[in-house]
Amino acid sequence: MGIRVLGDGQARAFGSGFPGVPLDCAPVRTRAIVRILTGVIFVAEGLSKALGSFVRGGFAADLAEIAKGSVPFWRTFLERFVVPNAGAAAWLIALGELAVGIGLVLGLWTRVACAGGAALMLAIAMGGIRPRDPSPGWTDWVTAGLTPKLAFLLFVLMFTVDAGRTWGLDGVMGKKKAARARS
C-alpha cells in the first residue's frame, strides 16, 4: 500500500482496496470495524467450542444428522473421513475458528484468516445446504444454510479489500516493509 499526500493536503491510500480514498474515511474505517467485529465473533465461537461440549463428543453426536442433510458427495466425505475422526475434526474446527478470529481482530495475516474462514464456512454450508422439504422449490435451495453462505461472502469481501491494512498489524508490517524497500 502506498500513501501519497495530494495537493489538497489529504493523505490518500493507493493499493489499499480503495485507491485514492483518504486514509481516514468511512469506507476505510468500516472495513476495519467489520473485520474486528467478525474476529470477535469467531474468537467467541472458537472458545465456546474448545471449552464446551463440542470437542467433548457434541460434534460427533451431531455428525449423523449433519451428514443426512448434506449433498451426496459431502455426505460420503463426512461418513468416510470425518465420522471416524470426529474428535480430531472437532478440535480442528474449534481451533480453526479461534485462529481466524485472532487473525481478524489483530489484522494479522488477514487474507490468510479470510481464506481459512471462507473454507470453514464452505464446509459448514455443505453440511446444511440441502433443504429439509422433500420436494423443495428453488427458493428453498437458496435459503437453506443461509448464515454460512453469507459469512462466506463476508470473508471473500474482506479478503478482496485487504481489511487488515487498516487498524491492523498487516498495515504496520506493510509500512515497515515499504520503509525497508526505500532504504
154-164 per-position pLDDT tens digit:
999 999 988 88
**H/E element holding 12?**
strand 11-14
Q: What's the pLDDT at 53?
A: 93
Short-list 63, 41, 35, 66, CA closest to 161: 35
Q: Rounded to whole angstroms, how far apart are CA atoms 146 and 128?
A: 9
16 vs 84 pLDDT, higher one: 84
Q: Quick one: cell of 124?
A: 459448514
Range 157-179 burial, b when 16+ CB lie within 10 A, else e: ebbebbbbbbbbebbeebeeeee
Question: Which pLDDT band holds residue 129 (cuts at 50, 70, 90)?
Answer: low
